[in-house]
Amino acid sequence: MTPKILEAKIHNLKFWIAESSPQRLRSMFQTYLEKVDFTILDCVEHHFPVQGYTVFWLLAESHLAIHTFPDKNRSYVELSSCNRQKALLFKQLLSADNLPIDWDRAEEGIF
């Protein structure tokens, strides 16, 4: 019997958000991941010595990374997912909450 081969596809969502508080970012995006029902395997964060913060969620469906730029009160967010439906729902939740997101300055992948 020939094994079934799945075609790998990654759906990317990239944007800037006018927020740089590590606590708010981690809490907010943890909630979004849970609402969409992503499978969170791990979450790792790093506070840089002078300024800045990075948080990374390892998901069964791929990952979410946030990098802050406190001097500009902005953060870069990138979701990569092999589950298109969850990626679309994640984007819909962000849009529905009217967050200060700049969709125009970052690629949105295939959306």
Which residues are designated catalytic?
62, 67, 82
Torsion angle of the four alpha carbons 49, 43, 59, 67, in this order, in degrees rounded to the nearest 10: -20
Q: Is 24 left (phi over 0), alpha (psi -120 to 50) or beta?
A: alpha
Among 95, 56, 60, 93, residue whose Cα is nearest residue 76: 56
